[in-house]
Amino acid sequence: MFRRALAIHEEALGPDNPNMAVSLNNLAELLRAKGDYVGAEPLYRRALAINEKALGPDHPYVAAGLNNLAQLLHAKGDFAGAEPLYRRALAINEKVLGPDHPFVATALNNMAQLLQAKGDFAGAEPLYRRALAINEKVLGPDHPFVATALNNLAALLQGKGDYAEAEPLYRRALAITEKTLGPDHPTVAATLNNLALLLARRADYAGAEPLYRRALAIDEKVLGPDHPDVAMSLNNLGGLLQQEGEYAGAEPLYRRALAIDEKALGPDHPDVAMSLNNLGGLLQQEGEYAGAEPLYRRALAIREKVLGPDHPDVANSLNNLGELLRGKGEYAGAEPLYRRALTIDEKALGPYHPSVATDLNNLALLLYDKGDIVGAEPLLRRALAIDEKALGTGHPTTKLHQANLDALLEAKKKKEK
């Protein structure tokens, strides 16, 4: 339908009409949703070029086009390409619409999400807070955009391990969405999932489970049983049951999520890779390495194909596969995977990102298992230094990596005796 509309517009209006840009953006959005980033990118770029030529470099439609292209590059892991586009979009909106316009808040949120993905929590937080303040001032305290800003800020605080400050933000966002959109809106389900994830991180499984189940029920009722959002809710609930050790309850949820994603999105979509990883992780935890390994390898192949070989999600898959091989005692197979994951994350995210700390920790534990305490120690020390700077000393990941270093140092003392 979009391709036909595009052809009709181009024939009737000419290739450089602003209405062509609308059709190009629509088709690009469809391709991006399907995971076809390669197909979407030239359409976004052409739409942006049309609007710049027809409307001038500082038009709000140009800012919208910059945001669209930046979001695609962000999804591809091209943070260096996305950042200047986000910053230019923000500058245009501030200049043309004023510093307190909701579009400025949207641009601030987009920029903050990029910084958060890069591990720059200190840079992201004031942008999220300013976006929230703009929306509250202009739209009122109970607008759905305020709920979105609250969710974004809460997610950042949660990522920093500041659960106490994040929880009331999620709860306020939930109250706003229930009031303005009704109790059965998909946005309510998304907020329930966010709050449930926070409670699960705090090991409040009894509090999290009914929220996950309600989110799933909403999505199934409103969107139908085969919608990708239903798959996301199934994955979330499955993850909770897995954390509680209810493997028999988690597995059919993961398998249903995978089937939905494959049917709705196609076999090579990044969401399919995520579902494969989740199911693989469960099987690995159950000791079913033979069942888990092909799932991890397929997830890795999808991510490399769709996102490119240097995307952080590829590093995630490499770590998962490396952990599996390490668990099987296949150290020679695991080590190059860990090292490649570390290289990818250092390049894509910078040397001080928490994901780099995780990569260092994983590689260090492999070396420790091989008896190479000398090689493992500096990696664990570097991982801990990153965590302390990025997440703080009280974060669960920091505490875990500190415990790993303490155990290594204790083993080192015994060896020296």
pLDDT digits (tens, 9 = 90+) for 23-48: 899 999 999 988 889 999 999 999 99
pLDDT at 1: 61
The answer to whether the CB of 65 falls within 8 A of the CB of 25 is: yes
User: Does the pTM exceed 0.85?
Assistant: yes
pLDDT at 34: 83
- Does 259 have pLDDT greater than 70? yes
Strand ranges in 25-135 using DSSP code E only, listed in sequence order: none
Distances (CA, A) of 255 to 47, 270, 279, 281, 286: 39, 16, 7, 12, 15
Distance (Å, rounded) from C-alpha 187 to C-alpha 18?
Answer: 32
CATH class of this structure's domain 1-98: mainly alpha
- Does 118 have pLDDT greater than 90? no
pLDDT band at 119 (very low <50, low <70, confident <90, very high): confident
Distances (CA, A) of 294 to 70, 170, 281, 288, 349: 33, 37, 12, 11, 28
- Does 146 have pLDDT greater than 80? yes
The answer to whether the CB of 273 falls within 8 A of the CB of 291 is: no
Segment 270-275 mean pLDDT: 95
The answer to whether the CB of 180 falls within 8 A of the CB of 144 is: yes
Distance (Å, rounded) from C-alpha 108 to C-alpha 92?
Answer: 12
The answer to whether the CB of 215 falls within 8 A of the CB of 189 is: yes
Strand ranges in 148-282 using DSSP code E only, listed in sequence order: none
Tokens of 194: 């966010």
pLDDT at 416: 82
The answer to whether the CB of 131 falls within 8 A of the CB of 109 is: yes
pLDDT at 9: 66
| DSSP per-residue letters across 44-72 | HHHHHHHHHHHH-TT-HHHHHHHHHHHHH
Residues in the chain, how many? 417
Segment 364-392 mean pLDDT: 95
